[in-house]
């Protein structure tokens, strides 16, 4: 399949700038190189130009297509309350751990949309997906983290079939998280979090 684009979604804050910019650019460049997409080198300049006059927090979305065309859009961003608690459910839709495109953030969102549509918005704030072996992978828009009381947060390995999330990468590099295979049963044995670079870590409650 070639009818998709790469995506990076960032948060801009007036005092901090483009949050985790280097990690976003590194992921974009790595994915573009692997897929043969041109144009990633121009991404930083376009991102900075898009927020040059921003005076408040902004959600920034960049896309890069196979021909090297970059597009950047912005929208006001309102952070979640510090005490936010998301209700999460597990979808029956499964990810294929052999699908290497799952490791990159793209506009090919069909499997995530199918999983999200298994529940009404009032039933779940986020929906988690397993792979064909029943291993925990990721949410439709978030990475998964488990605090089981044994040190660093646990997060599923890329080999399970999931996105190399930017927040996930940062936490692993900071040794605040480490990779570990998780089963649905494991998610009841500690404090569950979901998160992404835009919103940060969010406390979660698994609803069954």
Tokens of 102: 């799952």
Same domain for 38 and 91, yes or no, is no
Q: How far is CA 75 from CA 4, 22, 81, in A?
A: 22, 21, 19
94 and 72 belong to one structural domain: no
Interval 16-26: pLDDT, tens: 999 999 999 99
List the domain range (segments joined by +) for residue 67.
6-76
How many alpha carbons lie under 13 Å from residue 23 in its C-beta half-sphere? 20
Query: 97-156: per-residue pLDDT in tens?
Result: 999 999 999 999 999 999 999 999 999 999 999 999 999 999 999 999 999 999 999 999
Q: Which of 76, 97, 126 is the last residue of a domain?
A: 76
pTM as predicted:
0.95
Q: Which string of DSSP letters, residue by residue, matches 26-82?
A: HHHHHHHHHHT---GGGHHHHHHHHTTT--S-EEEEEEE-TT--EEEEEEE--PPPT
Distance from the Cα of residue 156 to its chain's centroid: 13
Provide the number of structural domains found in the chain: 2
Contact 39, 70 (CB under 8 A): yes
pLDDT, one tens digit per residue, over 36-71 is 999 999 999 999 999 999 999 999 999 999 999 999
Same domain membership, residue 130 and residue 59: no
Give the other-Cβ count within 10 Å of 187's Cβ.
21
pLDDT surpassing 80 at residue 1: no
- Looking only at the bridges linking them, the beta strands covering 6-13 and 200-206 are unpaired
CA angle, residues 12, 63, 142, in degrees to nearest 5: 65
Place of tokens 């898009």: 50
Percent of the chain whose predicted confidence (pLDDT) is above 90: 98
1 found inside a domain:
no
8 A C-beta contact, residue 155 and residue 170: no
Residues 109 and 54 in one domain: no
Residues 6+ apart with CB under 8 A from 45: none
């Amino acid at each position: 399949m070639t009818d998709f684009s790469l995506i990076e979604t960032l948060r801009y804050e007036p005092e901090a700038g483009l949050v985790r910019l280097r990690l976003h650019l590194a992921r974009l460049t790595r994915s573009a190189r692997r897929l043969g997409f041109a144009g990633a080198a121009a991404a930083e300049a376009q991102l900075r130009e898009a927020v040059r006059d921003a005076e408040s927090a902004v959600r920034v979305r960049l896309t890069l297509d196979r021909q090297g065309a970059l597009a950047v859009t912005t929208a006001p961003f309102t952070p979640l309350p510090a005490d936010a608690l998301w209700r999460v459910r597990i979808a029956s839709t499964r990810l294929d751990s052999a699908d290497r495109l799952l490791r990159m953030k793209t506009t090919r969102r069909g499997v995530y949309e199918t999983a999200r549509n298994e529940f009404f918005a009032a039933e779940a704030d986020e929906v988690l997906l397993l792979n064909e072996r029943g291993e925990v992978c990721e949410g439709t828009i978030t990475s998964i983290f488990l605090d089981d009381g044994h040190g660093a947060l646990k997060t599923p390995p890329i080999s399970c079939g999931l996105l190399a999330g930017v927040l996930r990468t940062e936490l692993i590099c900071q040794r605040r998280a480490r990779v570990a295979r998780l089963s649905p049963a494991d998610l009841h044995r500690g404090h569950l979090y979901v998160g992404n670079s835009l919103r940060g870590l969010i406390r979660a409650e698994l609803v069954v």
